[in-house]
Structure 1
């Protein structure tokens, strides 16, 4: 599998099937899109403490998960700005090159090169035995997630179809358990529930050992009802996972028909690097800096 197998599907017109999903689930029609873009630009002028680009591509990133309600989109922008401000020590000026070693040399995260049977991107995270928290700590793990989401948000198909996260806890031990700190848990869930401009459709936990319960006790009190309904536990029962994602679209690690997956994101690194202008712009967005 080479980097040529991977690409960000940016500036791609929605397929007819995806257009139908967008209209049914997101209220997306040409007239509503036009009106929402115009109104959001007006709201941005009124919210003078916020700084974001005003091109249609960027505004669509915020409007689609908000079902084209401009008031909800500006609220999401504000939450993104708040999250960036509150986590400035981790996120200010973050570039792919800062986590190049974690992307290329460590087997922690990967994004499947294709989509699942529902047209969704799948992020696979290995926080079991292949993860060494001494080499990639929890802060770095979050930064990897953040960089990947910056690229994924550019894909129109992903904006409509949504994304899926598969968390693999195979051979999780005490070092991995202690690596998932309360601070990491709180930051990750705040990001997912408040400041993620993507439709997170499902989160699947697989191969959880008994020690996983220690981690779950940290996460559970912070999870709101909407996200709770999208979290599924499968243990080693891959047939349970297959009720949500067909085996034809999963690697053999999960009882699928595709090749075994390499958990490093080495093939994704150059792809994310290709959208560096967008990442630089994203770094500048948020609250207007006081002079």
Structure 2
């Protein structure tokens, strides 16, 4: 065990328990032994608030979803020309500054959705961004704020986000990653998006429904959590895009080319 990674005796104990579970269920993690080092497992320990039963379920599902359930989607994850199109165009991004509670802020903006981007490419981009957020320990323990700007959400997007696609996204991102979306702020939700929300909301997990926070013309509640001085002008803030967004995000993802190539080869 790397003592530099572990912050407390409780954390060390939980990590050892999770490692023992992995050892006893080694067949579920076949080909991914290289991935399951202390640093990776601690993402799940911290992200699930030291509740090892939840951490182990999330870890098993994390691998199962990639190896079996949605394997075709993840087999293309290392094809960055395709999987990062949503990031390079600004449809999925991360703000440079944090919220009032030091949480990372991820932004989905349908205004910058490329005409030729598929919903799978969008999902891949969000996977890459979410996994990049893990590198901050505060994200592991405090979670992420998600802002979704729906100003340009149209009929073409509605056709893409079928119930099965929404189910896939919930399955990938909600309970089976070592990261918590504290709130999902829905900006400018128009009538077309309301059609989607009305259709899917009854089938969403109750905790997810509770964290969907719509903001129409009044964003004062959003600004209490995420100050305007930390937001770009396009989201009602004070910053231009260069100062607002993490412009090094794509570079950091590309720097992990070998990691994602090995990940895909392990599927």
Which TM-score bucket, shorter chain as reference?
Answer: 0.7 to 0.9
Q: Work out whether 1:166 is the aligned partner of 2:153.
A: no
Rounded to whole Å, the distance in 1 between the matches of 2:11 and 2:112 is 44
Report the alpha carbon displacement of residue 233 of structure 1 after superposing the two structures with TM.
0.5
Cα displacement string for residues 247-282 of structure 1 (whole angstroms, at most 9, x for unaligned residues) = 122222222222247999874211111233443454
SS in 1 for 2:63: helix
Task: Select which of 31, 35, 47 maps to 1:65.
Answer: 47
Query: Contact between 2:92 and 2:108, CA under 8 Å: does it hold in 1?
Result: yes
Rounded to whole Å, the distance in 2 between the matches of 1:135 and 1:230 is 30
Aligned to 2:193: 212
Rounded to whole Å, the distance in 2 between the matches of 1:260 and 1:237 is 22
Aligned to 1:136: 117
Q: Work out whether 1:36 is the aligned partner of 2:14.
A: yes
Query: Contact between 2:93 and 2:108, CA under 8 Å: does it hold in 1?
Result: yes
Task: Select which of 103, 109, 130 maps to 1:149.
Answer: 130
Cα displacement string for residues 67-109 of structure 1 (whole angstroms, at most 9, x for unaligned residues) = 22333221111111222121001112511344244432x3411
Rounded to whole Å, the distance in 2 between the matches of 1:152 and 1:196 is 11
239-248 or 195-204, larger mean C-alpha shift = 239-248
Q: Which has the higher contact order (CA 8 A, sep 6+)?
A: 1
Q: Work out whether 1:122 is the aligned partner of 2:122.
A: no
Rounded to whole Å, the distance in 2 between the matches of 1:198 and 1:283 is 21
TM-score, normalising length from structure 2? 0.86
C-alpha RMSD of matched pairs (Å): 2.7
Aligned to 1:179: 160
TM-score, normalising length from structure 1? 0.79
Rounded to whole Å, the distance in 1 between the matches of 2:205 and 2:84 is 33
Query: Contact between 2:82 and 2:121, CA under 8 Å: does it hold in 1?
Result: no
Query: Contact between 1:251 and 1:258, CA under 8 Å: does it hold in 2?
Result: yes
Report the alpha carbon displacement of residue 114 of structure 1 after superposing the two structures with TM.
2.2
Rounded to whole Å, the distance in 2 between the matches of 1:97 and 1:175 is 23
Choose between structure 1 and 2: higher helix proportion: 2
Q: Work out whether 1:81 is the aligned partner of 2:63.
A: yes
254-263 or 171-180, larger mean C-alpha shift = 254-263
Query: Contact between 1:80 and 1:194, CA under 8 Å: does it hold in 2?
Result: no
Rounded to whole Å, the distance in 2 between the matches of 1:179 and 1:262 is 32
Query: Contact between 2:77 and 2:264, CA under 8 Å: does it hold in 1?
Result: yes
Q: Work out whether 1:113 is the aligned partner of 2:71.
A: no
Aligned to 1:99: 83
Rounded to whole Å, the distance in 1 between the matches of 2:19 and 2:196 is 42
Number of residue pairs matched by the alignment: 258
47-56 or 205-214, larger mean C-alpha shift = 47-56
Aligned to 1:49: 27
Rounded to whole Å, the distance in 1 between the matches of 2:174 and 2:186 is 18
